[in-house]
Amino acid sequence: MSKNNLKSVVSKRQLYRRIAAIVNQINHETKIESTTPYDLGQPSTSQCVEQDLCPPSLDNFEVIHDFQSTDISTLASSDSEEHDLPERSGIENSTYAESLGLELQSWATSFKITHIALKRLLHILHPYHPYLPYDSRTLLHTPLNFPVKQLESGQYIHLGLEASLKHFIDKNEHWQGDTLFVSFNIDGLPLYKSTNIQCWPILGLIKNLPHQSPFAVGVFCGKSKPCPLPVYLDRFIEECNFLKNGFLHKSKRYNFCIHSFVCDAPARAYIKCIKPPTGYSFCEKCVAPGEYVSGRVILRDLCAAKRTNESFRRQLDEDHHLGLSPLLALDIDMVKQFPIDYMHNVCLGVMRKLLNYWVGGNLNIRLGSTSVLRISNTLACFKDYIPVEITRKPRPLSELQRYKATEFRTFLLYTGIVALKDILPCQIYNHFLLFHSAIYLMVVSDRDENTEINSELASKLLLTFIKQGGRLYGREFYIYNVHVLSHLSDDFLHYGALDNFSAFPFENYLGHMKSLVKSTTKPLQQICRRLQELNHTCIEINNKSNLPRVEIEHVNGPCLTNNFEKQYKKPS
C-alpha cells in the first residue's frame, strides 16, 4: 500500500486487515509454517450493522496483544530482520566497537587504504555498528595541522625526537634498560619522476634492540637540498642537547646517547660542511691528498695521517672544510661517529665497479660474452636454493644496471665465489677473494674478544686488495670508494659488525615513505599524517621479518664440531 493511500484515521477492522497482511508477509518471507493460523475473527455485516462500532472478540484481542508485544521495527521491515545483530548492553557494544575500530585501523594502515575508500566503508558499516565513527580521519586519529617551518628551498615539519623515544618505550614494555642509543640518518629522496620535488627526512633508529624500525624525527620537502642548513637542523640539534641530560617517562628516568650518523658520502659531506667526494681533500678519515687522473680524483696514499675530532673542530686542514657545521653544537666525535656505510661504499660502490669492469670494462679485463653467459646461468641455478633470509633472488648479469644493493651484497658474500670460479682469470679471481674474505669477516663477526684480531686481519686483506687493484685495473682504480676501504676496519673495531652501522634499514624505510605520497598536493603534510597514523596504530612499516619461527628446542644434533648454536625440531 502506498503512503498516499494511508489514512490518518482508520477503522479497527481496517487496522486488523493491515496487521494480518503484515503477519502473512513475514511468515511468507521467513518461510515459517504456522500450525495455528492467525484468525482475527472479523465480524460479519449481518452481526454488526455499523462496522466502525463493532467491538473485537476476545480471541481477536489476544492475537492483537501478542502482535504488539513483538518488535514493531521487525514487523515494519523484513530486510532488517534478516541482518539483525544480537542484542548487547551499552558496555558490550562499546567494547565490541573499540575492538572492531582497532582492527580497521590496523587493516587500513597495513594495506595503505585510501581515506576515501575507508570513509565509504565506515558509512556502510555504521548502520550495523553505530559506535564506529563516520570519518576515516577520526578512526585513524589523523592530525589536521602541523607547525610548518619555512626555509629558502622548501618547508620543514619537526615531528619530535622525545616523542618517538617515549613511543619506543611504550611499545617495548619488556625492555628493562634505561639508556637509548640512537643512530641517525639524513638523506635525500626524489618523490616524483616528473618534478624535482625531493624529501629530506631526519631518521632515527634505536640500536639497543634488534629488528627495530626507523622513525622520522623531522621531514623536509622542497625543490633542492634543505637550505640554509642551520635552520633545517636547529630543532633537531636543540632537542638532542636537551635530551643529553635524560628525560622522565612514567616516573622513570632514561638516558639518551647518539650512537652514530649513518649517511652516504654526499650527505655526510653536506651536513658536515666539508668537501664533497669529488674534491682533492675529501677523505673524512685521513689527510691523503687527491690527484686528477682520467677525469676523476683518486687517492693513492694509504699511510696518511688520521683525522681526529680535535683537528676537525679546529679546522686544521682548511682545504677539507667549506664552513662550520651546525652539528658542532652536539657533543659527538665528528670523525668516529660518522662511520663509512658499507651499503653505499662496498655494495653499490666497489662491488658494482668490479662487475662493471668484468662485463663492460677494458678489453684486457672484460670477459667474453660466453663467459658472462656462463656466470648468468650459474646464478640462475642458485634461485631454487636461496634461503628466505635473502629477499632478492639472483638475476643474470644482463640486468646488472638494475641491481639493488642487496643483490650486490649477496653476490659478494655468497654467490660470487662460486659463480666466478674457473671463469675469471686466476689472478683476478684471487684478487676478488681478498675483498670477499675481508668483508665477510667484518659482516659475520661482532664485538667480542677476537674483534681486534679480526680487525687487523681485515685491514691487511683490504690493503692488499687496494694495492693489487691498481696493478690489475690501472691507477683510476683508486677512487674514493676504494680508498676508504682502508679505513673500514677502524669503524668495525669501534662499532662491531658492518650491519651495526649500515644504511640498509634507513633505505628500506625511505622506500616506504615514498609510497605514502598519493598525489602532488602537499606531499610534506601527506607524509607526516601517514607517519602519525602508523605511530598511533603501532604498525612497523619496515619490520616485516621473513624468518620462520621455530619450536621444541633440543640438543640431540647432528651438528658440526664446536657448534654451540641452538637446535629446534619444528618450524612454526
Q: Among 32-46, 89-103, 145-159, 177-191, which stretch is predicted with the lowest mean pLDDT?
A: 32-46
What one-letter code names the amino acid at 335?
A: V
Three-class secondary structure of residue 306 per DSSP: strand
pLDDT for residue 340: 97
Which helix (H) or strand (E) segment is 443 a member of?
helix 426-444
Q: What separation, in Å, do the N-terminal and C-terminal C-alpha atoms of the chain show?
A: 62
If you compute the radius of gyration of the chain from its CA atoms, what whole number of angstroms results?
Answer: 35
Decide: 551 and 572 in contact? Cβ < 8 Å.
yes
When comparing pLDDT for 56 and 516, which is higher?
516
Residue 18 has pLDDT above 90, yes or no: no
CA separation (Å) from 435 to 355, 450, 487, 511? 13, 20, 14, 29
Range in 9-13, 160-164, 202-206, 358-362 with the lowest mean pLDDT: 9-13
pLDDT of residue 210: 74
Least confident interval from 154-168, 308-322, 441-455, 522-536: 441-455
* pLDDT, averaged across the chain: 85
What pLDDT is stored for residue 560 in this prediction? 59
- Average pLDDT score over residue span 527-538: 88
Domain extents in the chain:
3-82, 90-131, 148-294+304-336, 342-501
Is residue 343 within 8 A of residue 265, CB to CB? The reply is no
**Is 462 or 572 the better-scoring residue by pLDDT?**
462
* 170 against 559, higher pLDDT: 170
The answer for residues whose C-beta is within 8 angstroms of residue 380's C-beta and 6 or more apart is 394, 396
Question: Are 221 and 155 in contact, with CB atoms under 8 Å apart?
Answer: yes
Instruction: Give pLDDT, residue 325.
Output: 97
| pLDDT of 79 above 50 | no
pLDDT at position 424 is: 96
pLDDT digits (tens, 9 = 90+) for 142-151: 998 899 999 9
Specify the pLDDT at position 96: 66
Non-local (6+) Cβ contacts of 432 within 8 A are: 354, 416, 417, 420, 424
Higher pLDDT, 72 or 205: 205
pLDDT digits (tens, 9 = 90+) for 293-320: 988 999 999 999 999 999 999 999 999 9
Strand partners, 149: 156
pLDDT of residue 62: 40
Lookup result for grid cell 670477459: 367
- Split at pLDDT 50, 70, 90, the class of 93 is low
Is residue 544 scored above 90 in pLDDT?
A: no
Q: Higher-confidence residue: 48 or 566?
A: 566
Distance CA 525, CA 520 (A): 11
pLDDT greater than 80 at residue 29:
no
Q: What was the pLDDT predicted at 247?
A: 95
**pLDDT value at residue 512:** 93
> In Å, how far from its chain's centre is CA 335?
29
Q: Is the pLDDT of residue 61 over 50?
A: no
198-206 and 215-222 strand pairing: antiparallel
Which grid cell is 142?
589523523
pLDDT by residue (tens digit) across 433-464? 999 999 999 999 887 778 899 999 999 999 99
For 294, counting Cβ atoms within 10 Å of its Cβ (0-12 exposed, 13-18 middle, 19+ buried), the class is exposed
Burial class, 370, CB count within 10 angstroms (exposed 0-12 / middle 13-18 / buried 19+): exposed
pLDDT of residue 37: 45
| Mean pLDDT to the nearest integer, 5-21 | 67
Residues 495, 181 contacting (CB under 8 angstroms) = no
Q: Residue 35: pLDDT above 50?
A: no
Closest CA to 296 of 486, 476, 484: 476
What is the C-alpha separation between 239 and 151, in angstroms, rounded? 19
* pLDDT confidence of residue 41: 44
Average confidence (pLDDT) over 310-338: 96
**Of residues 171, 283, 151, 160, the one with CA closest to residue 227:** 151
Peptide bond into 558 cis (omega under 30): yes
Q: Return the higher-pLDDT residue of 24 and 371.
A: 371
Predicted confidence band of residue 279 (pLDDT cuts 50, 70, 90):
confident
Q: What's the rounded Cα separation, in Å, for the pair 286 and 263?
A: 18
Per-residue pLDDT, averaged over 73-77, amounts to 40
Nearest to 305 by CA among 313, 297, 317, 295: 317
